[in-house]
Amino acid sequence: MTQGVVDSWVKKFAWFQFPKLSEEKAHLEGGYVDRACMTTLPLLRNSGFTARRLVERVGGFHLQGKPYLASTFSESILRVATSGKKLVQLRQGISLKDRKEILSADMEVQETPHLPRDRCAIITGVAKPTAIGRCLVHHFLENGYKVVGADICELELGTSEETSTQKLSADRFHFVQADISDPLQAKQIVDETIQKFGGSIHVLINNAGRTTPTLPEENRVKAFAETLAVNVNGAYYMSESVLPYMPAGQSSIIHISSTRALQSEPHSEGYATSKAGLVGLTHAQAITLSGKVRVNVILPGWINTDPSGNAALRLEDHEWHPAGRVGVPDDVAHMCLFLCDSMRAGFITGQQFVVDGGVTKKMVYPSD
């Protein structure tokens, strides 16, 4: 397929002149081509992609021959015939007959997993080997991502198993020591990611944060400002730095907040304010980046980051949770992986997800 054919096809649809589907397909698919296609096509055209690079950018299928299929990450499939005139959306509800008709073109197609091979993620707050950030690193590496971890502290080595299995191998993991409350250092993290792993970043997880310690009154104002500088400003600086490298329709930003955004305890003003600020930042970014990057926020509750047992948990600690146990870092990691999957979570943006075992929904009564 020539670049001219691709350009003519993109031009035809780039101004949102999408045809209505047949009556049967309208019933199954809502009547119109997926909105993700509308927002993606003009961006691809302006980027000057060749046909092959267009396939790689949209992802999902690798093709040989002139015609090709490309899968967006909102469960739709674009079909570009040699004439450059056909655009069809597929969902699970489409009839087998229609699916066979669409896929019966004379072409050789090799289906691959819906996530592209070179997915890259930046995760902040990864220095501690048993904390949420390091758990996120391992989960994303295990799911095929290349990962850049960042922290203001030096990277602490974990267990011998972690070292021996080379889960943090240099070819797939890179660590940057930086202070995200400084916009220049936040940009440095992104710059090193591009230098190490190439031109696209698909996931940003703003996990780094600091608490507000109980301090004498004369130090509280400074501590309040420093907490917001890391927890809110740092997340914003990271987001702004990474956006130019995030492929439209395939990328996700996740902020790690806390249930302290919903309920508080004494002397937590800075922490609670900053975590609530991440919820507001999520709403605003999701609207600003509509159709380009999905933005969501996770609010963990009690997460036990000391699996060695040094912080002994009582039976009543587990029983306090409607889920029957205290949370672990994997609970947060699983939610992150789901939200970063643009096929399964492609319709989710601007939302907050409380991962707390049900505690914030539990009525609290005065003690006797």
pLDDT digits (tens, 9 = 90+) for 253-287: 999 999 999 998 888 899 999 999 999 999 999 99
What pLDDT is stored for residue 248 in this prediction? 93
**Alpha-carbon 290 to chain mean position:** 14
Q: What is the pLDDT of residues 191-246, one digit of tens each?
A: 999 999 988 999 999 999 998 766 667 688 888 999 999 999 999 999 999 999 99
What pLDDT score does 316 carry? 85
User: pLDDT higher for 218 or 358?
Assistant: 358
Q: Which domains does the chain have, with CATH numbers?
A: 3-111 (no CATH), 120-361 (3.40.50.720)
Q: Which residue out of 32, 245, 271, 365 is catalytically annotated?
A: 271
- Six-digit token string for 287: 């609207």
Residue 77 predicted with pLDDT over 50: no
pLDDT score recorded for residue 167: 55
Q: What is the pLDDT of residue 220?
A: 84
- Which tops the pLDDT comparison, 76 or 238? 238
Tell me the mean pLDDT in the region 16-40: 32
Percent of the chain at pLDDT exceeding 90: 47
Mean of pLDDT values over 85-105: 36
Kindly report the backbone phi and psi dihedral angles of residue 299, in degrees, each rounded to the nearest multiple of 5, phi listed first: -115, 90
271 catalytically annotated: yes
Distances (CA, A) of 342 to 9, 104, 251, 287, 337: 24, 26, 7, 17, 10
Q: How confident is the model at residue 87 (pLDDT cuts 50, 70, 90)?
A: very low
Return the DSSP state at 327: B
Q: What is the pLDDT of residue 363?
A: 84
Tokens representing 348?
A: 């989710």
Q: What is the pLDDT of residue 71?
A: 33
Worst-scoring range by mean pLDDT, 87-101, 135-149, 156-170, 276-290? 87-101
Model pLDDT, residue 309? 59
pLDDT in tens, 171-190: 899 999 999 999 999 999 99
Q: Which has the closest alpha carbon to 342: 283, 265, 254?
A: 254
Q: Is the pLDDT of residue 20 over 80?
A: no
At 117 the pLDDT is 64
Percent helix, percent strand, percent coil in the chain, to nearest 5: 40, 15, 45
Of 61-70, 193-202, 209-218, 307-316, the range with the highest mean pLDDT is 193-202
Task: Give the per-residue pLDDT at 54.
Answer: 35
> Helix H segments across the chain?
3-14, 23-29, 35-46, 51-58, 96-103, 132-142, 160-164, 183-197, 217-228, 234-242, 269-288, 315-319, 329-340
Note the pLDDT of residue 157: 81
For 239-260, give one letter per residue: b (16+ CB within 10 A) or e.
Answer: bebbbebbbbbbbbbbbbbbbb
**pLDDT over threshold 90, residue 334:** yes
DSSP 73-107: TTS-EEEE-TTS-------TTS-HHHHHHHHTSS-
Provide the token pair at 42.
């003009």
Q: Percentage of residues in the chain with pLDDT exceeding 70? A: 62
Report pLDDT for 368.
54
Q: What does each C-alpha distance from 127 to 47, 138, 157, 318, 323 come to in angstroms?
A: 37, 13, 8, 27, 29
pLDDT averaged over every residue in the chain: 73
Q: What is the pLDDT of residue 218?
A: 67
CA–CA distance, 196 with 198 (Å, rounded to integer): 6
